[in-house]
Chain A
Protein backbone atom coordinates (compact mmCIF):
# COMPACT_ATOMS: atom_id res chain seq x y z
CA UNK A 1 0.00 0.00 0.00
CA UNK A 2 1.11 3.54 -0.68
CA UNK A 3 0.50 5.36 2.59
CA UNK A 4 0.85 9.06 3.36
CA UNK A 5 0.94 10.72 6.75
CA UNK A 6 0.67 14.50 7.03
CA UNK A 7 2.55 16.02 9.93
CA UNK A 8 3.23 19.41 11.43
CA UNK A 9 5.88 20.86 13.71
CA UNK A 10 4.54 22.63 16.78
CA UNK A 11 5.93 23.95 20.07
CA UNK A 12 6.12 21.49 22.95
CA UNK A 13 2.81 21.44 24.82
CA UNK A 14 4.62 22.09 28.12
CA UNK A 15 5.81 25.47 26.82
CA UNK A 16 4.75 28.70 28.49
CA UNK A 17 3.11 30.85 25.85
CA UNK A 18 3.38 34.61 25.74
CA UNK A 19 2.78 37.33 23.18
CA UNK A 20 5.96 39.04 22.03
CA UNK A 21 5.87 41.69 19.30
CA UNK A 22 2.34 40.67 18.42
CA UNK A 23 3.34 37.05 17.84
CA UNK A 24 2.95 33.93 19.91
CA UNK A 25 6.21 33.11 21.67
CA UNK A 26 7.20 29.86 23.38
CA UNK A 27 10.54 31.00 24.71
CA UNK A 28 13.21 28.29 24.74
CA UNK A 29 10.77 25.43 24.58
CA UNK A 30 11.64 23.00 21.80
CA UNK A 31 9.69 22.52 18.59
CA UNK A 32 8.42 18.97 18.26
CA UNK A 33 6.42 16.69 16.05
CA UNK A 34 2.77 17.65 16.73
CA UNK A 35 1.70 15.15 19.41
CA UNK A 36 -1.51 14.13 17.57
CA UNK A 37 0.59 13.42 14.48
CA UNK A 38 2.68 10.90 16.42
CA UNK A 39 -0.45 8.77 16.62
CA UNK A 40 -1.02 9.26 12.90
CA UNK A 41 2.57 8.22 12.10
CA UNK A 42 2.24 5.18 14.34
CA UNK A 43 -0.99 4.11 12.65
CA UNK A 44 0.58 4.58 9.22
CA UNK A 45 3.48 2.35 10.29
CA UNK A 46 1.18 -0.27 11.83
CA UNK A 47 -0.81 -0.36 8.58
CA UNK A 48 2.33 -0.72 6.50
CA UNK A 49 3.58 -3.53 8.72
CA UNK A 50 0.29 -5.37 8.33
CA UNK A 51 -0.32 -4.78 4.63
CA UNK A 52 3.08 -4.11 3.14
CA UNK A 53 4.00 -1.01 1.18
CA UNK A 54 5.61 2.24 2.18
CA UNK A 55 4.91 5.34 4.23
CA UNK A 56 5.73 8.88 3.12
CA UNK A 57 5.53 11.73 5.62
CA UNK A 58 4.48 15.11 4.25
CA UNK A 59 4.88 18.40 6.02
CA UNK A 60 3.97 21.96 5.13
CA UNK A 61 6.25 24.19 7.11
CA UNK A 62 9.39 26.32 7.44
CA UNK A 63 12.99 25.02 7.44
CA UNK A 64 12.86 23.96 11.08
CA UNK A 65 9.98 21.62 10.28
CA UNK A 66 12.57 19.27 8.81
CA UNK A 67 13.19 18.07 12.38
CA UNK A 68 9.60 16.93 12.69
CA UNK A 69 9.99 14.96 9.46
CA UNK A 70 13.21 13.44 10.80
CA UNK A 71 11.32 12.29 13.86
CA UNK A 72 8.75 10.65 11.56
CA UNK A 73 11.56 8.99 9.58
CA UNK A 74 13.24 7.85 12.79
CA UNK A 75 9.98 6.19 13.85
CA UNK A 76 10.09 4.25 10.61
CA UNK A 77 8.59 6.22 7.74
CA UNK A 78 10.30 5.41 4.46
CA UNK A 79 10.27 8.81 2.81
CA UNK A 80 9.63 12.40 3.79
CA UNK A 81 8.90 15.59 1.89
CA UNK A 82 8.99 19.16 3.16
CA UNK A 83 6.66 21.52 1.31
CA UNK A 84 8.09 24.94 1.61
CA UNK A 85 7.39 28.18 -0.21
CA UNK A 86 7.17 31.86 0.82
CA UNK A 87 3.69 31.84 -0.69
CA UNK A 88 2.56 29.47 2.05
CA UNK A 89 3.91 31.41 5.00
CA UNK A 90 0.63 32.60 6.50
CA UNK A 91 -1.40 29.60 5.58
CA UNK A 92 -4.87 29.21 6.97
CA UNK A 93 -6.75 25.93 6.66
CA UNK A 94 -7.96 26.89 3.19
CA UNK A 95 -4.38 27.15 1.94
CA UNK A 96 -3.00 24.25 4.01
CA UNK A 97 -5.63 21.83 2.79
CA UNK A 98 -5.11 22.95 -0.80
CA UNK A 99 -1.34 22.49 -0.55
CA UNK A 100 -1.53 19.07 1.08
CA UNK A 101 -4.19 17.84 -1.35
CA UNK A 102 -2.01 18.97 -4.27
CA UNK A 103 1.01 17.21 -2.79
CA UNK A 104 -0.94 13.99 -2.30
CA UNK A 105 -2.17 14.16 -5.89
CA UNK A 106 1.41 14.60 -7.07
CA UNK A 107 2.41 11.39 -5.31
CA UNK A 108 -0.11 9.31 -7.28
CA UNK A 109 -1.65 5.96 -6.38
CA UNK A 110 -1.99 6.83 -2.72
CA UNK A 111 -4.22 4.39 -0.82
CA UNK A 112 -4.47 6.02 2.57
CA UNK A 113 -3.66 9.43 4.02
CA UNK A 114 -3.34 9.70 7.80
CA UNK A 115 -3.71 12.90 9.78
CA UNK A 116 -3.64 13.67 13.48
CA UNK A 117 -6.83 15.07 14.99
CA UNK A 118 -5.54 18.65 15.17
CA UNK A 119 -2.37 20.71 15.50
CA UNK A 120 -1.78 21.75 19.10
CA UNK A 121 -0.90 25.30 18.09
CA UNK A 122 -3.71 26.31 15.74
CA UNK A 123 -6.31 23.91 17.19
CA UNK A 124 -8.26 23.89 13.90
CA UNK A 125 -9.07 20.20 13.70
CA UNK A 126 -10.31 20.33 10.10
CA UNK A 127 -7.28 19.83 7.87
CA UNK A 128 -7.82 16.10 7.33
CA UNK A 129 -11.51 16.47 6.39
CA UNK A 130 -10.75 19.45 4.17
CA UNK A 131 -8.04 17.56 2.31
CA UNK A 132 -10.43 14.64 1.89
CA UNK A 133 -13.06 16.97 0.47
CA UNK A 134 -10.61 18.38 -2.06
CA UNK A 135 -9.45 14.94 -3.11
CA UNK A 136 -13.01 13.62 -3.30
CA UNK A 137 -12.05 10.84 -0.90
CA UNK A 138 -14.08 9.63 2.09
CA UNK A 139 -13.19 11.53 5.25
CA UNK A 140 -12.96 9.22 8.26
CA UNK A 141 -12.47 11.65 11.11
CA UNK A 142 -11.79 11.11 14.83
CA UNK A 143 -10.88 7.48 14.26
CA UNK A 144 -10.21 5.52 17.44
CA UNK A 145 -9.82 2.13 15.79
CA UNK A 146 -9.44 0.56 12.36
CA UNK A 147 -11.48 -2.60 12.60
CA UNK A 148 -10.95 -3.85 9.07
CA UNK A 149 -8.75 -3.02 6.14
CA UNK A 150 -8.87 -4.92 2.88
CA UNK A 151 -6.14 -3.66 0.58
CA UNK A 152 -7.26 -5.82 -2.34
CA UNK A 153 -10.97 -5.10 -2.12
CA UNK A 154 -10.01 -1.52 -1.20
CA UNK A 155 -12.33 -1.15 1.75
CA UNK A 156 -11.87 0.11 5.27
CA UNK A 157 -14.00 0.02 8.40
CA UNK A 158 -13.32 2.28 11.35
CA UNK A 159 -14.70 3.33 14.71
CA UNK A 160 -15.09 7.08 15.05
CA UNK A 161 -15.11 8.68 18.48
CA UNK A 162 -18.12 10.97 18.68
CA UNK A 163 -19.55 12.56 21.82
CA UNK A 164 -22.32 9.98 21.89
CA UNK A 165 -20.21 6.90 21.40
CA UNK A 166 -18.23 5.08 18.74
CA UNK A 167 -19.73 5.23 15.26
CA UNK A 168 -18.80 2.29 13.04
CA UNK A 169 -18.32 3.41 9.44
CA UNK A 170 -17.02 1.69 6.34
CA UNK A 171 -15.95 3.14 3.03
CA UNK A 172 -13.78 2.63 -0.03
CA UNK A 173 -10.10 3.35 -0.44
CA UNK A 174 -8.39 5.68 -1.05
CA UNK A 175 -9.53 7.51 2.08
CA UNK A 176 -8.35 10.14 4.55
CA UNK A 177 -8.17 8.89 8.13
CA UNK A 178 -7.73 11.43 10.96
CA UNK A 179 -6.90 9.71 14.22
CA UNK A 180 -7.40 10.35 17.91
CA UNK A 181 -5.07 9.14 20.62
CA UNK A 182 -7.22 6.19 21.64
CA UNK A 183 -6.09 4.42 18.46
CA UNK A 184 -2.61 3.34 19.47
CA UNK A 185 0.54 4.00 21.51
CA UNK A 186 3.22 5.67 19.36
CA UNK A 187 6.54 3.86 19.25
CA UNK A 188 9.85 5.40 20.20
CA UNK A 189 12.25 5.82 17.29
CA UNK A 190 14.86 3.08 17.14
CA UNK A 191 18.54 4.02 17.22
CA UNK A 192 18.94 2.70 13.71
CA UNK A 193 15.97 4.79 12.64
CA UNK A 194 17.54 7.80 14.33
CA UNK A 195 20.77 7.30 12.39
CA UNK A 196 18.98 6.85 9.09
CA UNK A 197 16.81 9.88 9.74
CA UNK A 198 19.68 12.18 10.64
CA UNK A 199 21.48 11.22 7.43
CA UNK A 200 18.38 11.55 5.28
CA UNK A 201 18.23 14.22 2.61
CA UNK A 202 14.67 15.46 2.67
CA UNK A 203 13.47 16.90 -0.62
CA UNK A 204 11.75 20.27 -0.69
CA UNK A 205 8.72 20.95 -2.82
CA UNK A 206 7.81 24.48 -3.74
CA UNK A 207 4.43 25.81 -4.85
CA UNK A 208 5.45 25.23 -8.46
CA UNK A 209 6.41 21.61 -7.72
CA UNK A 210 2.86 20.85 -6.66
CA UNK A 211 1.25 22.88 -9.45
CA UNK A 212 0.14 25.77 -7.28
CA UNK A 213 2.17 28.59 -8.68
CA UNK A 214 -0.74 30.89 -9.21
CA UNK A 215 -2.10 33.25 -6.56
CA UNK A 216 -2.66 31.48 -3.29
CA UNK A 217 -4.14 33.65 -0.61
CA UNK A 218 -5.39 32.68 2.77
CA UNK A 219 -8.95 33.77 3.45
CA UNK A 220 -8.09 34.87 6.98
CA UNK A 221 -5.93 37.56 8.52
CA UNK A 222 -4.94 37.78 12.14
CA UNK A 223 -4.87 41.29 13.55
CA UNK A 224 -4.11 40.36 17.13
CA UNK A 225 -3.00 37.67 19.54
CA UNK A 226 -3.77 38.11 23.23
CA UNK A 227 -3.21 36.45 26.54
CA UNK A 228 -6.51 35.44 28.11
CA UNK A 229 -7.51 37.35 31.23
CA UNK A 230 -6.99 35.49 34.43
CA UNK A 231 -9.92 35.29 36.81
CA UNK A 232 -9.97 37.59 39.82
CA UNK A 233 -7.62 36.74 42.67
CA UNK A 234 -10.26 36.85 45.34
CA UNK A 235 -12.35 33.80 45.99
CA UNK A 236 -16.08 34.32 45.74
CA UNK A 237 -17.72 32.69 48.73
CA UNK A 238 -21.20 31.36 48.06
CA UNK A 239 -23.46 31.66 51.06
CA UNK A 240 -27.03 30.84 51.90
CA UNK A 241 -29.54 29.73 54.47
CA UNK A 242 -29.28 25.99 53.82
CA UNK A 243 -27.26 23.60 51.66
CA UNK A 244 -29.94 23.51 48.95
CA UNK A 245 -29.86 27.29 48.63
CA UNK A 246 -26.08 27.43 48.58
CA UNK A 247 -25.89 24.63 46.04
CA UNK A 248 -28.47 26.36 43.85
CA UNK A 249 -26.54 29.62 43.93
CA UNK A 250 -23.24 27.88 43.20
CA UNK A 251 -24.78 26.00 40.31
CA UNK A 252 -26.18 29.23 38.93
CA UNK A 253 -22.84 31.01 39.20
CA UNK A 254 -21.00 28.17 37.51
CA UNK A 255 -23.49 28.17 34.65
CA UNK A 256 -23.46 31.96 34.44
CA UNK A 257 -19.69 32.09 34.25
CA UNK A 258 -19.80 29.41 31.56
CA UNK A 259 -17.69 27.11 33.70
CA UNK A 260 -20.14 24.28 33.17
Chain B
Protein backbone atom coordinates (compact mmCIF):
# COMPACT_ATOMS: atom_id res chain seq x y z
CA UNK B 1 0.00 0.00 0.00
CA UNK B 2 2.81 2.44 -0.81
CA UNK B 3 0.48 4.66 -2.86
CA UNK B 4 -1.84 5.00 0.16
CA UNK B 5 1.08 6.21 2.24
CA UNK B 6 2.00 8.64 -0.53
CA UNK B 7 -1.51 10.03 -0.64
CA UNK B 8 -1.68 10.31 3.14
CA UNK B 9 1.63 12.13 3.24
CA UNK B 10 0.57 14.49 0.45
CA UNK B 11 -2.70 15.29 2.24
CA UNK B 12 -0.99 16.02 5.54
CA UNK B 13 1.64 18.13 3.80
CA UNK B 14 -1.05 20.07 1.95
CA UNK B 15 -3.02 20.73 5.16
CA UNK B 16 0.10 21.99 6.92
CA UNK B 17 1.12 24.25 4.03
CA UNK B 18 -2.32 25.74 3.43
CA UNK B 19 -2.90 26.31 7.14
CA UNK B 20 0.45 28.01 7.46
CA UNK B 21 -0.23 30.23 4.45
CA UNK B 22 -3.68 31.13 5.74
CA UNK B 23 -2.31 31.92 9.20
CA UNK B 24 0.39 34.12 7.70
CA UNK B 25 -1.50 35.90 4.93
CA UNK B 26 -4.96 36.30 6.38
CA UNK B 27 -4.90 35.88 10.13
CA UNK B 28 -1.59 37.63 10.77
CA UNK B 29 -0.78 35.02 13.40
CA UNK B 30 2.95 35.43 12.89
CA UNK B 31 2.83 39.19 12.62
CA UNK B 32 5.42 40.81 14.90
CA UNK B 33 3.27 42.94 17.17
CA UNK B 34 -0.10 41.95 18.48
CA UNK B 35 -1.44 43.66 21.54
CA UNK B 36 -3.00 40.94 23.62
CA UNK B 37 -3.38 43.14 26.67
CA UNK B 38 -7.12 43.46 26.40
CA UNK B 39 -9.63 41.72 24.17
CA UNK B 40 -10.80 44.11 21.47
CA UNK B 41 -14.21 45.69 21.83
CA UNK B 42 -15.89 44.79 18.54
CA UNK B 43 -18.28 47.17 16.87
CA UNK B 44 -20.34 45.90 13.93
CA UNK B 45 -20.98 48.06 10.88
CA UNK B 46 -21.93 47.93 7.22
CA UNK B 47 -20.16 49.93 4.51
CA UNK B 48 -22.82 52.67 4.37
CA UNK B 49 -22.68 56.37 5.22
CA UNK B 50 -25.15 55.80 8.08
CA UNK B 51 -22.26 54.03 9.86
CA UNK B 52 -19.49 56.40 8.79
CA UNK B 53 -18.71 57.59 12.31
CA UNK B 54 -17.63 54.05 13.23
CA UNK B 55 -14.58 53.86 10.92
CA UNK B 56 -13.85 57.58 11.39
CA UNK B 57 -13.65 57.16 15.18
CA UNK B 58 -11.45 54.11 14.80
CA UNK B 59 -9.15 55.81 12.30
CA UNK B 60 -8.73 59.07 14.22
CA UNK B 61 -8.22 57.25 17.53
CA UNK B 62 -5.47 55.20 15.91
CA UNK B 63 -3.85 58.29 14.42
CA UNK B 64 -3.99 60.22 17.67
CA UNK B 65 -2.94 57.61 20.18
CA UNK B 66 -1.77 54.69 18.07
CA UNK B 67 -4.58 52.58 19.43
CA UNK B 68 -8.27 52.59 18.71
CA UNK B 69 -9.64 50.67 21.66
CA UNK B 70 -12.27 49.29 19.28
CA UNK B 71 -12.27 46.78 16.51
CA UNK B 72 -14.70 47.70 13.75
CA UNK B 73 -16.08 44.53 12.15
CA UNK B 74 -17.52 44.98 8.70
CA UNK B 75 -20.58 42.96 7.78
CA UNK B 76 -22.14 42.48 4.37
CA UNK B 77 -25.82 42.38 5.25
CA UNK B 78 -28.26 42.92 8.08
CA UNK B 79 -29.16 39.29 8.93
CA UNK B 80 -25.55 38.29 9.59
CA UNK B 81 -24.89 41.41 11.65
CA UNK B 82 -28.02 40.79 13.72
CA UNK B 83 -27.08 37.16 14.33
CA UNK B 84 -23.55 38.09 15.37
CA UNK B 85 -25.01 40.54 17.88
CA UNK B 86 -27.52 38.04 19.27
CA UNK B 87 -24.81 35.40 19.67
CA UNK B 88 -22.76 37.81 21.79
CA UNK B 89 -19.89 38.09 19.32
CA UNK B 90 -20.53 41.80 18.96
CA UNK B 91 -20.85 43.77 22.20
CA UNK B 92 -21.86 46.84 20.20
CA UNK B 93 -23.10 47.53 16.71
CA UNK B 94 -24.58 50.09 14.38
CA UNK B 95 -28.06 48.90 13.52
CA UNK B 96 -31.37 49.98 12.00
CA UNK B 97 -33.45 51.77 14.64
CA UNK B 98 -36.70 49.80 14.13
CA UNK B 99 -34.72 46.55 13.96
CA UNK B 100 -33.13 47.30 17.33
CA UNK B 101 -36.55 48.09 18.81
CA UNK B 102 -37.99 44.91 17.37
CA UNK B 103 -35.10 42.84 18.76
CA UNK B 104 -35.88 44.31 22.18
CA UNK B 105 -39.48 43.18 21.75
CA UNK B 106 -38.22 39.73 20.88
CA UNK B 107 -36.23 39.57 24.10
CA UNK B 108 -32.71 40.41 22.92
CA UNK B 109 -30.91 42.42 25.64
CA UNK B 110 -30.22 45.39 23.37
CA UNK B 111 -30.06 49.06 24.33
CA UNK B 112 -29.81 52.01 21.97
CA UNK B 113 -27.23 54.40 23.41
CA UNK B 114 -26.64 56.96 20.66
CA UNK B 115 -27.52 57.84 17.08
CA UNK B 116 -25.13 57.18 14.21
CA UNK B 117 -26.23 59.98 11.89
CA UNK B 118 -29.27 61.90 10.72
CA UNK B 119 -30.82 61.85 7.23
CA UNK B 120 -28.72 60.14 4.58
CA UNK B 121 -31.44 58.35 2.63
CA UNK B 122 -32.92 59.13 -0.76
CA UNK B 123 -35.53 57.54 -2.97
CA UNK B 124 -34.24 57.14 -6.50
CA UNK B 125 -36.22 56.30 -9.63
CA UNK B 126 -35.04 55.59 -13.17
CA UNK B 127 -34.38 58.78 -15.10
CA UNK B 128 -36.59 57.56 -17.96
CA UNK B 129 -39.54 56.80 -15.70
CA UNK B 130 -42.68 58.87 -15.49
CA UNK B 131 -42.46 59.11 -11.71
CA UNK B 132 -42.08 62.79 -10.81
CA UNK B 133 -44.17 63.04 -7.66
CA UNK B 134 -44.72 60.74 -4.74
CA UNK B 135 -48.30 60.21 -5.98
CA UNK B 136 -46.88 58.69 -9.18
CA UNK B 137 -45.62 55.72 -7.16
CA UNK B 138 -49.13 54.18 -7.21
CA UNK B 139 -48.95 50.66 -8.60
CA UNK B 140 -45.14 50.68 -8.66
CA UNK B 141 -42.56 48.40 -7.06
CA UNK B 142 -40.27 49.91 -4.44
CA UNK B 143 -37.18 48.18 -3.03
CA UNK B 144 -36.37 48.78 0.66
CA UNK B 145 -33.33 47.41 2.56
CA UNK B 146 -35.15 45.45 5.23
CA UNK B 147 -38.65 45.01 6.62
CA UNK B 148 -37.37 46.46 9.91
CA UNK B 149 -35.67 49.43 8.28
CA UNK B 150 -36.71 52.99 8.87
CA UNK B 151 -36.46 53.43 5.10
CA UNK B 152 -39.57 51.29 4.83
CA UNK B 153 -41.37 53.43 7.40
CA UNK B 154 -40.20 56.50 5.51
CA UNK B 155 -41.81 55.18 2.32
CA UNK B 156 -45.07 54.56 4.17
CA UNK B 157 -44.97 58.05 5.68
CA UNK B 158 -44.22 59.70 2.34
CA UNK B 159 -47.06 57.84 0.64
CA UNK B 160 -49.57 58.60 3.38
CA UNK B 161 -48.61 62.27 3.46
CA UNK B 162 -49.51 62.39 -0.24
CA UNK B 163 -52.76 60.50 0.04
CA UNK B 164 -51.48 57.17 -1.28
CA UNK B 165 -52.41 54.05 0.68
CA UNK B 166 -49.38 51.81 1.37
CA UNK B 167 -51.17 48.81 -0.16
CA UNK B 168 -51.33 50.63 -3.49
CA UNK B 169 -47.60 50.00 -3.99
CA UNK B 170 -45.53 46.85 -3.87
CA UNK B 171 -42.71 47.02 -1.34
CA UNK B 172 -40.01 44.38 -1.51
CA UNK B 173 -36.83 43.71 0.44
CA UNK B 174 -33.50 43.90 -1.38
CA UNK B 175 -29.88 44.11 -0.26
CA UNK B 176 -28.81 47.74 -0.88
CA UNK B 177 -25.69 46.81 -2.93
CA UNK B 178 -27.99 45.09 -5.44
CA UNK B 179 -30.35 48.05 -5.74
CA UNK B 180 -28.54 50.22 -8.35
CA UNK B 181 -28.29 47.29 -10.79
CA UNK B 182 -31.96 46.42 -10.17
CA UNK B 183 -32.97 49.98 -10.98
CA UNK B 184 -30.71 50.09 -14.02
CA UNK B 185 -32.30 46.94 -15.44
CA UNK B 186 -35.74 48.30 -14.43
CA UNK B 187 -36.44 45.26 -12.30
CA UNK B 188 -37.93 47.69 -9.77
CA UNK B 189 -39.39 51.17 -10.24
CA UNK B 190 -37.86 52.86 -7.23
CA UNK B 191 -35.12 52.10 -4.72
CA UNK B 192 -34.45 53.52 -1.30
CA UNK B 193 -31.67 52.77 1.16
CA UNK B 194 -28.83 54.41 2.99
CA UNK B 195 -26.03 55.92 0.96
CA UNK B 196 -23.82 55.47 -1.03
CA UNK B 197 -25.99 53.15 -3.13
CA UNK B 198 -28.53 55.81 -4.02
CA UNK B 199 -25.76 58.24 -4.94
CA UNK B 200 -24.26 55.56 -7.16
CA UNK B 201 -27.38 55.30 -9.33
CA UNK B 202 -27.39 59.09 -9.55
CA UNK B 203 -23.68 59.36 -10.28
CA UNK B 204 -23.81 56.72 -12.99
CA UNK B 205 -26.49 58.66 -14.80
CA UNK B 206 -29.56 56.40 -14.72
CA UNK B 207 -31.02 57.42 -11.37
CA UNK B 208 -33.03 60.50 -10.49
CA UNK B 209 -33.73 61.51 -6.89
CA UNK B 210 -37.45 61.56 -6.11
CA UNK B 211 -36.99 62.73 -2.56
CA UNK B 212 -34.32 63.19 0.08
CA UNK B 213 -35.20 62.49 3.69
CA UNK B 214 -35.19 66.19 4.52
CA UNK B 215 -38.14 66.63 2.10
CA UNK B 216 -40.28 64.02 3.82
CA UNK B 217 -39.05 63.41 7.33
CA UNK B 218 -36.49 66.01 8.44
CA UNK B 219 -33.82 64.73 10.83
CA UNK B 220 -34.60 61.17 9.81
CA UNK B 221 -32.82 58.44 11.78
CA UNK B 222 -31.90 55.26 9.97
CA UNK B 223 -29.26 53.71 12.17
CA UNK B 224 -28.36 53.87 15.83
CA UNK B 225 -25.53 52.67 18.03
CA UNK B 226 -26.73 49.78 20.18
CA UNK B 227 -24.94 47.74 22.85
CA UNK B 228 -25.75 44.66 24.87
CA UNK B 229 -27.12 45.20 28.36
CA UNK B 230 -24.38 43.13 30.02
CA UNK B 231 -21.84 45.38 28.33
CA UNK B 232 -23.52 48.43 29.86
CA UNK B 233 -23.25 46.78 33.27
CA UNK B 234 -19.68 45.55 32.96
CA UNK B 235 -17.94 47.93 30.58
CA UNK B 236 -19.57 51.32 31.18
CA UNK B 237 -16.37 53.22 30.56
CA UNK B 238 -15.71 51.54 27.22
CA UNK B 239 -19.25 52.31 26.03
CA UNK B 240 -18.85 55.92 27.17
CA UNK B 241 -15.55 56.15 25.30
CA UNK B 242 -17.22 54.81 22.17
CA UNK B 243 -20.16 57.23 22.39
CA UNK B 244 -17.81 60.17 23.02
CA UNK B 245 -15.68 59.09 20.06
CA UNK B 246 -18.69 58.97 17.78
CA UNK B 247 -19.89 62.37 19.01
CA UNK B 248 -16.44 63.87 18.41
CA UNK B 249 -15.99 62.31 14.98
CA UNK B 250 -19.51 63.35 14.00
CA UNK B 251 -18.68 66.93 14.91
CA UNK B 252 -15.36 66.62 13.09
CA UNK B 253 -17.16 65.41 9.95
CA UNK B 254 -19.60 68.31 10.00
CA UNK B 255 -16.91 70.89 10.86
CA UNK B 256 -15.62 71.53 7.33
CA UNK B 257 -16.15 70.08 3.86
CA UNK B 258 -12.42 69.29 3.77
CA UNK B 259 -12.88 66.91 6.68
CA UNK B 260 -15.67 65.14 4.84
CA UNK B 261 -13.54 64.74 1.71
CA UNK B 262 -10.65 63.43 3.81
CA UNK B 263 -12.99 60.95 5.49
CA UNK B 264 -14.28 59.88 2.08
CA UNK B 265 -10.70 59.08 1.11
CA UNK B 266 -9.51 57.15 4.13
CA UNK B 267 -12.79 55.36 4.78
CA UNK B 268 -13.02 54.24 1.12
CA UNK B 269 -9.47 53.05 1.18
CA UNK B 270 -9.18 51.36 4.56
CA UNK B 271 -12.71 50.37 5.57
CA UNK B 272 -15.37 50.31 2.84
CA UNK B 273 -13.32 49.35 -0.21
CA UNK B 274 -15.45 51.60 -2.40
CA UNK B 275 -14.58 54.18 -4.99
CA UNK B 276 -13.63 57.39 -3.10
CA UNK B 277 -15.44 59.38 -5.77
CA UNK B 278 -18.71 57.83 -4.64
CA UNK B 279 -18.31 58.74 -0.97
CA UNK B 280 -17.11 62.21 -1.91
CA UNK B 281 -20.27 62.64 -3.98
CA UNK B 282 -22.76 61.53 -1.30
CA UNK B 283 -21.00 63.48 1.44
CA UNK B 284 -21.10 66.74 -0.50
CA UNK B 285 -23.97 66.86 -3.00
CA UNK B 286 -25.83 68.36 -1.25
CA UNK B 287 -23.90 68.68 2.04
CA UNK B 288 -27.04 68.12 4.11
CA UNK B 289 -27.74 64.80 2.37
CA UNK B 290 -26.42 63.17 5.54
CA UNK B 291 -25.57 64.80 8.87
CA UNK B 292 -23.44 63.69 11.78
CA UNK B 293 -24.30 66.20 14.47
CA UNK B 294 -27.29 66.41 16.80
CA UNK B 295 -26.98 62.72 17.62
CA UNK B 296 -28.49 62.74 21.12
CA UNK B 297 -31.37 60.36 21.79
CA UNK B 298 -34.63 62.28 21.83
CA UNK B 299 -37.66 60.42 23.02
CA UNK B 300 -40.00 62.18 20.60
CA UNK B 301 -38.02 60.96 17.57
CA UNK B 302 -38.47 57.42 18.74
CA UNK B 303 -42.15 57.85 19.56
CA UNK B 304 -42.63 58.92 15.95
CA UNK B 305 -40.84 55.79 14.71
CA UNK B 306 -42.82 53.65 17.17
CA UNK B 307 -46.14 54.99 15.93
CA UNK B 308 -45.33 54.27 12.28
CA UNK B 309 -43.84 50.91 13.15
CA UNK B 310 -46.93 49.83 15.06
CA UNK B 311 -49.13 50.92 12.22
CA UNK B 312 -47.21 48.84 9.69
CA UNK B 313 -46.86 45.81 11.94
CA UNK B 314 -43.09 46.23 12.32
CA UNK B 315 -43.52 46.56 16.09
CA UNK B 316 -46.16 45.05 18.32
CA UNK B 317 -45.96 47.92 20.78
CA UNK B 318 -44.84 45.87 23.76
CA UNK B 319 -41.77 47.96 24.58
CA UNK B 320 -41.25 51.59 25.46
CA UNK B 321 -38.40 54.05 24.96
CA UNK B 322 -37.19 53.23 28.48
CA UNK B 323 -36.93 49.53 27.53
CA UNK B 324 -34.93 49.81 24.33
CA UNK B 325 -32.91 52.99 24.93
CA UNK B 326 -30.43 54.13 27.53
CA UNK B 327 -29.72 57.85 27.06
CA UNK B 328 -27.35 58.00 30.04
CA UNK B 329 -24.25 57.91 27.81
CA UNK B 330 -25.29 60.88 25.69
CA UNK B 331 -22.71 63.61 26.33
CA UNK B 332 -24.21 66.87 27.66
CA UNK B 333 -24.86 69.41 24.96
CA UNK B 334 -21.71 71.11 23.60
CA UNK B 335 -19.51 69.53 26.24
CA UNK B 336 -17.48 67.75 23.58
CA UNK B 337 -15.38 69.39 20.93
CA UNK B 338 -14.69 67.85 17.52
CA UNK B 339 -11.54 65.74 17.26
CA UNK B 340 -8.57 68.09 17.00
CA UNK B 341 -6.94 66.27 14.14
CA UNK B 342 -6.00 66.93 10.54
CA UNK B 343 -5.48 64.20 7.98
CA UNK B 344 -1.88 63.85 6.75
CA UNK B 345 -1.79 61.86 3.55
Do A and B make up one complex?
Answer: no
Give residues in B with beta carbon < 8 Å to A: none
